[in-house]
Amino acid sequence: QVQLQESGPGLVKPSETLSLTCTVSGGSISSYYWSWIRQPPGKGLEWIGYIYYSGSTNYNPSLKSRVTISVDTSKNQFSLKLSSVTAADTAVYYCARGGDIVATKGYFQHWGQGTLVTVSS
Amino acid sequence: DIVMTQSPDSLAVSLGERATINCKSSQSVLYSSNNKNYLAWYQQKPGQPPKLLIYWASTRESGVPDRFSGSGSGTDFTLTISSLQAEDVAVYYCQQYYSTLLYTFGQGTKLEIK
């Protein structure tokens, strides 16, 4: 059974860069699409972007200028960097697995437990 | 952007009764080349990540009880719980994955026991 686990700082200062890593266990990171999704406290879900194991990416246009998603297949990990953060970026950040083909990449069968990142000085 | 709008925002249903949640997309999510609706439903309980219930608008994910069903096509979709159980209390989200430029979710529907 595939498991995903987010890790990274729970507190980030305004204007700094948020960095998170998702470690995949119980399966290979290869051949799948991997996404980051966030949820501000008490609010709904926002897709941030995805990366294919080969390294191709697609980002939410509203965040594109600040987001970088990368993959390290040797470690079975993928990562998120979000620059110039503000309080509006405070959220639970989830990593999630999409499908293995283009048609199925956009729905998410497996999710991490999520990690709360607070932006505050 | 494809805007997903769910109704109602909250819903209280008696145990054993039917619960119905609606989701409307601002444009069709039916892909004509394969005749599939790019629409998924998720269940989120407090303190937990969302759980995939339904994809392709009506295909139940493995392990999901058959009291959960999805229907609809084009721009109008419905999630139905045929006989509400206590463990179904949660927030439910629809999501379109038709637009690969931007996947979007509905605002969520909170389901409670009456």
The model's pLDDT over A68-85, given as tens digits with 9 standing for 90+, comes to 999 999 999 999 999 999
Q: Distance between alpha carbon A100 and the CA centroid of its chain, in Å? A: 17
Please name which of B8, B1, B89 lies closest in space to residue B45, comparing C-alpha atoms: B89
Buried/exposed A23-60: b ≥16 CB within 10 Å, e otherwise: bbeeeebeebbbbbbbbeeeebbbbbbbbbbeeeebbb
Q: What is the pLDDT of residues A32-64, one digit of tens each?
A: 999 999 999 999 999 999 999 999 999 999 999
Instruction: Give the pLDDT band of residue A22 (cuts 50, 70, 90).
Output: very high
How is residue A104 annotated by DSSP?
G
Taking CB atoms and an 8 Å cutoff, what residues of chain A touch B100? 58, 102, 105-106
Check residue A2 and give its pLDDT.
Answer: 95
B107 and A58 within 8 Å at the Cβ level: the answer is no
Predicted local confidence at residue A104, as pLDDT:
86
Facing residue for B107 by CB, picked from A35, A44, A60: A44
Nearest in space to A93 (alpha carbons), one of A9, A28, A1? A9
For residue A100, is pLDDT > 90? no
Facing residue for A106 by CB, picked from B42, B100, B108:
B100
Contact list in A for residue B36 (CB cut-off 8 A) is 103
